[in-house]
Amino acid sequence: MATAPRAAVLGPQPGRISLGPGLEALDLPPGPVAAITVGWRETEPVLKEVEQELGQCGREAAPLHIGERVGRVFERDAPLAEAHRALQEGLLAEERLYGARLRRAVETAHEVVRLSVAERYRDPYAAQAWQAILDADRFHVARHAELWQEFREAVGLAERPAIRAEKEELERLLAGAAAVVLTGGHVAVIRNRLLLLGLADALAPLPVLAWSAGAMVLTPRVVLFHDRLPGGAARPEILGDGLSLLPGIALFPDAAIRLDLGDRQSLAELSGRVDPDRAVLLDAGDMVHWDGRAWSAPDGIRLLSGDGEVETVPSFVPRAARAGSLADGAAT
């Protein structure tokens, strides 16, 4: 599995985008920086902001216009658009089924922990209940990847002229770029578009500057989370495998806003569900750096420990990758 040679992962960019420190940390060779802004559906002025910010840092932006390209693909290739729409329906159904299974598994695990019985009686059941959560996650990730794989094979995705035309153009732009920037936005849209165009291999050699949703899709596993939705906390769910270009981490941007950092049991579950990857918490102003061997940050990296504590470490080397990761298949 290829990983980015160097990467800077920024904290959320709630106001004006600031790329200077990240570009400085990457110490890039000359050349334009490819920009992926599809997370905001390219309808918002984020691309202009990225271009301006890169310009102020003496860099030319090479916008990839992923959203427009996918729109063109679907216009040219109606059967593919229809098959893709059917895939989305399948993925939605899969998510609902996973959600139902996961809800029961989490409720059971919490109930077992709450029961007032001696640990020696409770622990075997707690272990079983925990395993049920992990099983739900793993089965969902596997089913999600299977649905994608069925779609690829059914339509012969890589060979479709509309896809090939856009992909070749994108590969040319990426080959001439010094780095790639991925903004935040809708994490499922970014992931979906990158998988559809099969861009993992073309992205792999490039230094990465990314944040929030754009960075999440490059990790081994994408986790959806929000403890403070107005309609009530959402139970964390695995969206699916990421592209695994940023190794050994699962990202939790806007942690101070989106996570209940006082709920140690839930945080411990979150940490355990992304194991062996480390749960990295990021807030505005943060930056973590990948040098090809280890993750580090000048002010330390905030991680969730196995018991749900937030610990700060100066650096860490990723643990062994998850066996049988589906990301390779999903990203081809």
| Binding of residue 225 to another protein (CB under 8 A) | yes
Q: Does 229 engage in binding with another protein (CB under 8 A)?
A: yes
- Does residue 266 touch another protein according to CB under 8 A? no
Applying CB under 8 A, among 79, 230, 262, 324 the residue interacting with another protein is 230
Q: Which is nearer to another protein, 122 or 186 (CB)?
A: 186
How many beta carbons lie within 10 A of that of residue 30, not counting itself?
A: 8
Q: How far is residue 290's CA from residue 5's CA, in Å, rounded to a whole number?
A: 8
Tell me which of 234, 261, 313, 321 binds another protein, using CB under 8 A.
234
Nearest partner of 69 among 199, 201, 167, judged by Cα:
167
Residue with Cβ nearer another protein (73 or 202): 73
Q: Does 279 bind another protein (CB under 8 A)?
A: no
226, 300, 316, 321: residue in contact with another protein (rule CB under 8 A): 226
β-pairing, 310-316 vs 295-304, is: antiparallel
Minimum CB–partner distance for residue 122 and another protein (Å): 28
For position 232 contacting another protein by CB under 8 A, the verdict is yes
Q: Is 106 in the site for another protein (CB under 8 A)?
A: no
Residue 89 and residue 164: Cα distance in Å, rounded?
25
Q: CB-based contacts of 307: which residues, under 8 Å, 6+ apart?
A: 264, 268
Rounded Cα gap, residues 251 and 235, in angstroms: 16
Query: Binding to another protein by residue 304, rule CB under 8 A?
Result: no
Asked if 76 interacts with another protein (CB under 8 A), we say no
Specify the amino acid at residue 9.
Answer: V
Can you say whether residue 323 is alpha, beta or left, with left for phi > 0 and alpha for psi between -120 and 50 degrees? Answer: beta
Q: Which residues bind another protein (CB under 8 A)?
A: 12-14, 184-189, 212-213, 216, 224-226, 229-232, 234, 253-254
